[in-house]
């Protein structure tokens, strides 16, 4: 399924990475490489001219980059999406593997040719995952206690919130729910994951990538502020 590559849209919020990415894609001569620093720029550039390939940072400053996959990914045709991320945690790998992205390349991996190899692969209609991504995925699916077997998609969405907010009152306010409901839902998650304290739940959220530390605070991977009106907490 080879095609003539003419245009790549790189969605990356760190401008310091732009020259690095451009140098990695230098072998594709005659190809236009455009850059977008946030989701708004990405949508605007995508709508102005549909690229053949989108390389997408999974963690943009203004949104969860993976939320853009459905916007960009072709339905069995171009453009192909390559996720280019420094996070190879279980939750990120799980989400990419279950999305319409064609490739997942570790941003700071040992193989500097990973991004070029990913572009070559998707041009042939083949998926591509860098070595650490494959290792993480194989380890995940071999785990009989993996979160995808124990939690629903909605429960996964909210788990990161419990690692990011130190106060039940603040979390209740942020999500538009009562403190009692927050406590019930935390206990429900702990029971399903066989975790015995709230501290263990926070550690689990960090270890699996549901919550990530930033220089200023812990942030849930999927911001839910506020939850939609049809979201039903456990016990409601």
Q: What is the pLDDT of residue 74?
A: 64
Asked whether residue 1 is assigned to any structural domain, the reply reads: no
Q: What is the pLDDT of residue 77?
A: 58
List b or e across 55-82, with b for residues whose CB sees 16 or more CB atoms inside 10 angstroms.
Answer: bbbbbbeeebbbebbeebbeeeebbbbb
Asked whether residue 22 is assigned to any structural domain, the reply reads: yes
Residues 136 and 20 in one domain: yes
Residue found by looking up tokens 């020259």 in the block? 19
Q: What is the pLDDT of residue 227?
A: 37
Q: What is the pLDDT of residue 221?
A: 57
Residues 138 and 151 in one domain: no
Q: Which of 121, 142, 163 is the last residue of a domain?
A: 142
Q: What is the pLDDT of residue 174?
A: 82
Q: Which domain holds residue 102?
A: 7-142
Residues 100 and 192 in one domain: no
- Please tell me the distance from the alpha carbon of residue 103 to that of residue 127, in angstroms, as a whole number: 5
- What sign for the dihedral angle of Cα 126, 127, 130, 135? negative
**CATH code for the domain of 179:** 1.10.10.10
Q: What is the pLDDT of residue 109?
A: 73
Q: Are 160 and 221 in contact (CB under 8 A)?
A: yes
Count of the separate structural domains present in the chain: 2
Q: What is the pLDDT of residue 4?
A: 81
Q: What is the pLDDT of residue 111?
A: 79
Asked whether residue 236 is assigned to any structural domain, the reply reads: no
Q: What is the pLDDT of residue 223?
A: 40
Splitting the chain (236 residues) into consecutive groups of 10 residues, what average pLDDT does each group show?
Answer: 83 92 91 94 91 92 86 71 93 93 88 89 92 94 94 88 78 87 92 92 91 59 40 43
Per the structure block, which two tokens stand in for 10?
């790189």
pTM of the model: 0.84
Q: What are phi and psi of 214, to 5 degrees?
A: -120, 170
Residues 13 and 103 in one domain: yes
Q: Which of 90, 117, 142 is the last residue of a domain?
A: 142
Residues 119 and 205 in one domain: no
Q: Which of 75, 109, 142 is the last residue of a domain?
A: 142
Angle, to 10 degrees, between the axis of helix 179-193 and the axis of helix 168-175?
100
Concatenate the DSSP letters of all residues of 53-88 into one string: EEEE-SB-SSSBGGGGHHHH--SSSSPEEEEEES--
**CATH code for the domain of 86:** 3.40.50.2300
Distances (CA, A) of 176 to 13, 139, 182, 190, 202: 30, 37, 10, 21, 21
């Amino acid at each position: 399924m080879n095609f003539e590559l003419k245009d790549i849209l790189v969605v990356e919020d760190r401008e310091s990475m732009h020259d690095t990415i451009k140098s990695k894609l230098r072998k594709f001569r005659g190809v236009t490489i455009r850059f977008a620093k946030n989701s708004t720029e990405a949508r605007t550039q995508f709508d102005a001219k549909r690229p053949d390939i989108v390389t997408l940072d999974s963690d943009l400053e203004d949104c969860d980059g993976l939320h853009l996959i459905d916007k960009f990914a072709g339905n069995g045709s171009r453009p192909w999406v390559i996720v280019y991320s420094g996070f190879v945690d279980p939750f990120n790998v799980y989400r990419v593997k279950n999305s319409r992205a064609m490739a997942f390349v570790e941003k700071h991996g040992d193989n500097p040719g990973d991004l070029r190899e990913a572009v070559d692969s998707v041009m042939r209609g083949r998926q591509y995952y860098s070595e650490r991504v494959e290792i993480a995925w194989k380890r995940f699916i071999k785990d009989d206690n993996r979160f995808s077997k124990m939690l629903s998609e909605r429960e996964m969405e909210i788990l990161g919130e419990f690692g990011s907010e130190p106060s039940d009152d603040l979390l209740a306010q942020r999500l538009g729910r009562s403190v009692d409901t927050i406590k019930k839902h935390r206990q429900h998650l702990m029971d399903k994951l066989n975790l015995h304290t709230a501290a263990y739940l926070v550690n689990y959220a960090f270890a699996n990538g549901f919550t990530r530390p930033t220089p200023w605070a812990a942030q849930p991977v999927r911001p839910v502020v506020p939850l939609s009106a049809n979201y039903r907490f456990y016990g409601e």
